[in-house]
Amino acid sequence: MEKFDYGIIGGGPAGYTAGMLLAKQGFSVVLFEKDKLGGTCLNRGCIPTKSFLHSSELYNQFLNSAEIGVSFENFKFDFSKVVEKKDKTVEKVRKALELAVKNSGVKTVYKEAFIKDNNIISAGEEEYKADKIILACGAKPRELKGLEFDGKFILSSDDILNLKELPERVLIAGSGAIGIEWARILSNFGTEVHIIETKEHLLPIADIEVSKRIERIFKQKNIKFYLNTSIEKIENQKVHLNNNDVIIEPDFILSAVGREPVCSLNCNPDIILGDACGEIQLAHYAIHQAKEFALGIPFDRKLTPSVVYGEPEIAWLGLREQDCDESYTIKKLPVTALGKAWCDNSTEGFIKVITKNGLIYGVHLVSKEASALIHTFLIAMQNNLTINDIKKTCFAHPTYSEGIFELILGL
């Protein structure tokens, strides 16, 4: 029986990050992964989805490029190449990760693992002894009663990545990050998209003004959505909604109502990291949990940025408008104020900050490059930089970042 300082079950962002950081400190580490290294993020989430999204945005831009003086003759579209690009991207990133894990000194076992007792992990016919066991087995798509996944008509966020051809009409249940991004992907490719949301607004976890702006954008793109709505029944692949007697006949339903931790072990591990712990289910959150455990470098969990990708991007951090009382100041700058946005033909959106006593408590972005812009605010909030501190910073022109300066200057 091989012996290790650490045994890690799960090769996603939390697992492989913890493994590599511990190994580099001289600890012996064995990492168990029943499928492919990289977890949901690399294989069934962030990376393949963003590859699809990039292809769909290019396709949509080409279709509408005449107004900026670019036109094409014999314009062709091959969805099989989109799928091929997605698969190649995932494979390249995964191979780089596998090499990095190997070079760090971590031993990887590609078998399903179980905790036999407090120090023994069973995988296949082998057993491994570990002084400490880390559980990082991730999460899986949440399944609702009446919307059980069958991989054909009712798809999970895993299933939809196996698309080989584009549907004509789709119904998406849920408007979180997964639902919003897939609505954008499919709509860009020309699919008729319908979204149902049981809450009062799309992307209900976001700031209320962000939700309303996304609703406006989706109306402009002819993405149909139904709020305060659920599925009443499904008969012969006809979906009856409980609102206004609406009936939709989609090629399939994407159930995007969140994810739930995967935990099927008999014994308690020494530590649980990543999605399995049931906290914030984001890859960067999992990575920083692992960093905190392995290196003792803490991070403020309340300052975990959220990003929804697509055009325009959506990002937020900290307090929302609906969380605030009158003691907070809320100020907004429309993206139309930025010359770079006009140059890029990307004038939809805004930068919004929530402040109090000279400090920033919340940021909400709907803008191109929002996924990058949010980090300027994150660093300021993390280090308690004041509004006056930011006013001293020289932002380049023309950029989207200078919108931060213009907004702060008015406070």
Mind listing the pLDDT tens digit for each residue in 320-332?
999 999 999 999 9
- For residue range 340-366, what is the model confidence (pLDDT) as tens digits? 999 999 999 999 999 999 999 999 999
Query: What pLDDT is attached to residue 317?
Result: 98
Please give the model's pTM, rounded to 2 decimal places: 0.95
Query: What pLDDT is attached to residue 337?
Result: 98
Per the prediction, the chain carries an average pLDDT of 95
pLDDT (average), residues 191-207: 97
From CA 275, how far away is CA 15, in angstroms rounded? 11
Please report which confidence band the pLDDT of residue 121 belongs to, taking 50, 70 and 90 as the band edges. Answer: very high
From CA 162, how far away is CA 359, in angstroms rounded? 46
263 pLDDT higher than 80: no
From CA 348, how far away is CA 360, in angstroms rounded? 24
Query: What pLDDT is attached to residue 69?
Result: 86
Task: Looking at mean pLDDT, say which of 233-237, 261-265, 366-370 comes out highest.
Answer: 366-370
75 pLDDT higher than 90: no
More confident residue, 75 or 259: 259
pLDDT (average), residues 159-173: 96
Please report which confidence band the pLDDT of residue 264 belongs to, taking 50, 70 and 90 as the band edges. Answer: low
Q: Nearest CA to 96 among 156, 16, 185?
A: 16
pLDDT (average), residues 167-183: 98
User: Are the C-beta atoms of 313 and 324 separated by less than 8 Å?
Assistant: no
Please report which confidence band the pLDDT of residue 265 belongs to, taking 50, 70 and 90 as the band edges. Answer: low
- For residue range 287-297, what is the model confidence (pLDDT) as tens digits? 999 999 999 99
CATH fit for domain 303-409, picks 3.30.390.10, 3.30.70.1020, 3.30.390.30, 2.60.120.10: 3.30.390.30
Query: What pLDDT is attached to residue 266?
Result: 55
Query: What pLDDT is attached to residue 67?
Result: 81
pLDDT (average), residues 250-274: 85
Distances (CA, A) of 49 to 171, 186, 253: 18, 11, 17
Query: What pLDDT is attached to residue 270?
Result: 82
Burial class of 61 by CB neighbour count within 10 A (0 to 12, 13 to 18, 19+) = middle
Query: What pLDDT is attached to residue 277?
Result: 87
Fold of 154-255: FAD/NAD(P)-binding domain (3.50.50)
As annotated, the residues of the chain forming the CATH 3.50.50.60 domain(s) are 2-141+259-295, 154-255
404 pLDDT higher than 70: yes
| CATH code assigned to 2-141+259-295 | 3.50.50.60
7 pLDDT higher than 70: yes
Query: What pLDDT is attached to residue 166?
Result: 96
- For residue range 79-114, what is the model confidence (pLDDT) as tens digits? 999 999 999 999 999 999 999 999 999 999 999 999
Q: DSSP letters along 197-259, please?
A: ESSSSSSTTS-HHHHHHHHHHHHHTT-EEEES--EEEEETTEEEESSTT-EE--SEEEE-S-E
Query: What pLDDT is attached to residue 139?
Result: 93
- For residue range 122-139, what is the model confidence (pLDDT) as tens digits? 999 999 999 999 999 999
